[in-house]
């Protein structure tokens, strides 16, 4: 009997996770099924309990349930603990639930493995101080950056997030205007501004000559920030589709003990989006 996995969120119809994991399963010869679950806003814990009670082996968790998944987990990985959010739930042999957060590992793997970005010695600016930023913060520090700066509309929120992560590496936070002229090697957009067709309040001179820009989302929501990067002469401009596939590969590795190849899966999703 195939092992059962799923992604749970609200809404969920748009999720590409079933397509991604089906491709991973074919590639690696794994016997599994992977579904979508529309989570109930008033009973997420019940949905999770019912899934695992029926023999489910693992769940991916997407908005708006990642913080609730963190609270449900009986044990958590260091990345999940720091993020305060869980995107991967696994059933342990004793029936308890383990929570992981693979978002940051997926981001780092996409940039370094797929695009050749060398984190060591680089200065990185992370835009936003919400859940998306928390999910990638510690993996970025572990990648060996010289400095990680967090810019947020509310400076105090960025400063608090930086203080919470200070034990893991060189990190500071502040308002957007505090980073004018700073010339970062990589700017990561973890804000939701693009969902409304807007840009974060980016200060002049925050991107270095030859710097890279990367939006954690993909599709139309990434367009304003990526267009800004092109207008600033960015050497490389990337959306988050690769991160989506790489974080899924990290979950697949946790569940199945084998790491799938991601390049063709990313390419096929690009082709599908173009169609």
Strand-by-strand arrangement of the 184-189 sheet? 171-175, 147-152, 123-127, 184-189, 207-215, 236-238
User: Please, which pLDDT band fits residue 171 given cuts at 50, 70 and 90?
Assistant: very high
d(CA 75, CA 5): 19
**pLDDT, mean of residues 56-60:** 98
User: Over the chain, what is the mean pLDDT?
Assistant: 96
Share of the chain above pLDDT 70, in %: 100
Share of the chain above pLDDT 90, in %: 95
In the chain, how many H helices and how many E strands?
11, 12
pLDDT tens-digit readout, 73-128: 999 999 999 999 999 999 999 999 999 999 999 999 999 999 999 999 999 999 99
User: Please, which pLDDT band fits residue 228 given cuts at 50, 70 and 90?
Assistant: very high
* Whole-structure pTM value: 0.95
Quick one: pLDDT at residue 109?
Answer: 98
Omega before 263 cis (within 30°)? no
Res 195 pLDDT > 90: no
Quick one: pLDDT at residue 196?
Answer: 87
User: Please, which pLDDT band fits residue 274 given cuts at 50, 70 and 90?
Assistant: confident
**pLDDT, mean of residues 5-32:** 97
Quick one: pLDDT at residue 132?
Answer: 93
Domains in the chain: boundaries: 3-101+244-274, 104-239
CATH architecture of 3-101+244-274: 3-Layer(aba) Sandwich (3.40)
C-alpha 29: how far from chain center: 26
Q: Residues with catalytic annotation?
A: 66
Quick one: pLDDT at residue 87?
Answer: 97
Q: Do the domains 104-239 and 3-101+244-274 match in fold?
A: yes
CA angle at 242 for the pair 239 and 247, rounded to the nearest 5° = 125
d(CA 15, CA 6): 11
* Closest by Cα among 182, 127, 131, 135 to 155: 127
Quick one: pLDDT at residue 194?
Answer: 85
User: What is the enclosing helix (H) or strand (E) of 63?
Assistant: none
Res 275 pLDDT > 90: no
Res 1 pLDDT > 90: no
Homologous superfamily of domain range 104-239: NAD(P)-binding Rossmann-like Domain (3.40.50.720)
Res 71 pLDDT > 90: yes
């Amino acid at each position: 009997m195939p092992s059962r996995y799923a992604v749970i969120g609200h809404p969920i119809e748009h999720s590409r996770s079933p397509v991604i994991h089906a491709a991973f399963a074919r590639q690696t010869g794994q016997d599994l099924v992977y579904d979508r679950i529309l989570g109930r806003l008033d009973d997420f814990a019940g949905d999770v309990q019912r899934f695992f009670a029926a023999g489910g082996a693992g769940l991916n968790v997407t908005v708006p349930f990642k913080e609730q998944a963190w609270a449900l987990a009986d044990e958590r990985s260091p990345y999940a603990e720091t993020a305060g959010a869980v995107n991967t739930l696994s059933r342990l042999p004793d029936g308890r639930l383990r929570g992981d957060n693979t978002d940051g590992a997926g981001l780092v793997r996409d940039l370094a493995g797929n695009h050749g970005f060398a984190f060591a010695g680089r200065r990185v600016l992370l835009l936003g101080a919400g859940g998306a930023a928390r999910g990638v913060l510690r993996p970025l520090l572990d990648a060996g950056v010289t400095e990680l700066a967090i810019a947020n509309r509310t400076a105090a929120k960025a400063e608090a997030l930086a203080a919470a992560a200070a034990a893991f590496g060189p990190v500071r936070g502040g308002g957007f205007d505090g980073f004018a002229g700073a010339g970062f090697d990589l700017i990561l957009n973890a804000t939701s501004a693009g969902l409304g067709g807007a840009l974060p309040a980016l200060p002049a001179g925050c991107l270095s000559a030859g710097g890279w820009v990367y939006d954690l989302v993909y599709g139309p929501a990434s367009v304003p920030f990526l267009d800004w990067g092109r207008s600033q002469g960015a050497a490389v401009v990337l959306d988050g589709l690769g991160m989506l596939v790489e974080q899924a590969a990290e979950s697949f590795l946790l569940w199945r003990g084998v790491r799938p190849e991601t390049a063709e899966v990313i390419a096929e999703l690009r082709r599908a989006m173009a169609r």
